[in-house]
Structure 1
Amino acid sequence: MSLDKLSEQLKSNATQKMPPVELWDPPYCGEIDLQIKADGQWFHNGTAFKRMSLVKLFASVLKKEADEYFLVTPVEKVKITVEDAPLLITQWIWLDDEQTVMQLTTNLDDTFILSKEHPLTISDDGGLYVTVRRNLMAKVHRNVYYQWVNFAQEVDQENEVALAITSDSEQFILGYLE
């Protein structure tokens, strides 16, 4: 399958903002040389995508199954390579003066509230990730992490001291102090 063919098929089906890819189970059509780097850049055949609109279009049909990523249409499924997480948390703001509800934004302009529905988790290697949509994760960019550390509170977490932030009445651990 070519990237142009997939792009045409997606554009012709672009009636919704976020297609219901979790409901689609098309046949596997092979692999395509499309890679999402750890820094959030998308490449095809070694060349970086220059049009953000095309990246957003492909990201709208991105699906994760087990530990593999696919671009899915109602009739085809192609495997792609993702180095780390397919998305990055690059911005955040408080939505209220009391600083109780935090809105996050990804490198592809997904916006959502850090909450039970979109939790923050720590990976085995200490990286911070947030569930964005479906089972797709976004890695918290280092700049965002450092900003959060500035106002994080020390909390007792199972006899360990942790740094935590709170959003939407949920507490999220950024890491543990030694």
Structure 2
Amino acid sequence: MPYDPPPELAGLTLADVAELVAARKLPPLESWDPPAIEPSGIRIAADGSWYHDGSRITRAAMVRAFASLLRREADGTYWLVTPHYKQTIEVEDAAFIAVDMKVDDGALAFRLNTDDLVVAGPDNPLRASGDPQSPAIYLMVRHGCEARLDRSTWLDLAEHALSGQYDNAPLQVTSLNECFALVPA
């Protein structure tokens, strides 16, 4: 089955993004608790590259398929989950990378390195980590997994925050009526 990537984020309205997100059918990982557990040999590098047994996975369709089965548990472990197997996966930083951002109608929409679209808000909060001089910004994606904003997307977000900042106000953004600090506490 050929893959049709979504149109460029810049050309989409918030309604378009919401429609594309709703149309994406993801497996019901939250209802799967398979008894068989084993290692997968998969690692997600800090730059978002996927590896299997040390070799880079270069087929984007395979990465998208594996990413749709990814879940992070409360203890911080990552798993590829199917109805019959649960396989460990190593994640160096974040499971996804946010590579593009658009501001539209009071919302911040992000495109991930897997072509997923995520709108920041109550269900997908942004969080700042690291230190105030060099923060890392993360976006909750799904099933406990986050996306780290790449440098250009982080700069776009900071520019957006600065455009609405008042004197001496903390650096923050709002999306879907939720306010998110961009400086770690």
TM over 0.5, shorter chain: yes
1:142 aligns with 2:151: yes
- Paired position in structure 2 for 1:114: 120
* TM-score for both structures, normalised by structure 2: 0.77
SS of aligned partner of 1:40: coil
- Paired position in structure 2 for 1:54: 62
> Of 17, 28, 34, which aligns to 1:20?
28
Name the aligned partner's letter for residue 42 of structure 2.
L
After superposition, the Cα gap between the structure-2 partners of 1:23 and 1:122, relative to the gap in structure 1 and judged at 3 Å, is same
Which of the two has higher C-alpha Rg? 1
Count of aligned pairs between the two proteins = 156
Calculate the aligned-residue CA RMSD, in Å.
2.1
Q: For 2:166 and 2:31, locate their aligned partners in 1 and report how far apart those are by CA, in whole Å.
A: 41
Contact 1:122 1:128 (C-alpha < 8 Å) held by counterparts:
yes
- Paired position in structure 2 for 1:8: none
User: Shift of residue 117 of structure 1?
Assistant: 1.3
After superposition, the Cα gap between the structure-2 partners of 1:32 and 1:134, relative to the gap in structure 1 and judged at 3 Å, is closer
> Of 80, 83, 87, which aligns to 1:71?
80
* TM-score for both structures, normalised by structure 1: 0.80
Structure 2 runs not aligned, ≥5 long: 1-23
> Of 103, 107, 110, which aligns to 2:109?
103
Instruction: Say which structure is richer in strand.
Output: 1
SS of aligned partner of 2:25: coil
User: Shift of residue 105 of structure 1?
Assistant: 1.1
- Paired position in structure 2 for 1:129: 138
User: Shift of residue 61 of structure 1?
Assistant: 0.7
- Paired position in structure 1 for 2:15: none
1:85 aligns with 2:91: no
Superposition misfits of 4+ residues, deviation over 6 angstroms? none
Contact 1:35 1:43 (C-alpha < 8 Å) held by counterparts:
yes
Moved more, 117-126 or 22-31: 117-126
User: Shift of residue 28 of structure 1?
Assistant: 3.8
- Paired position in structure 2 for 1:38: 46
Structure 1 runs not aligned, ≥5 long: 1-15
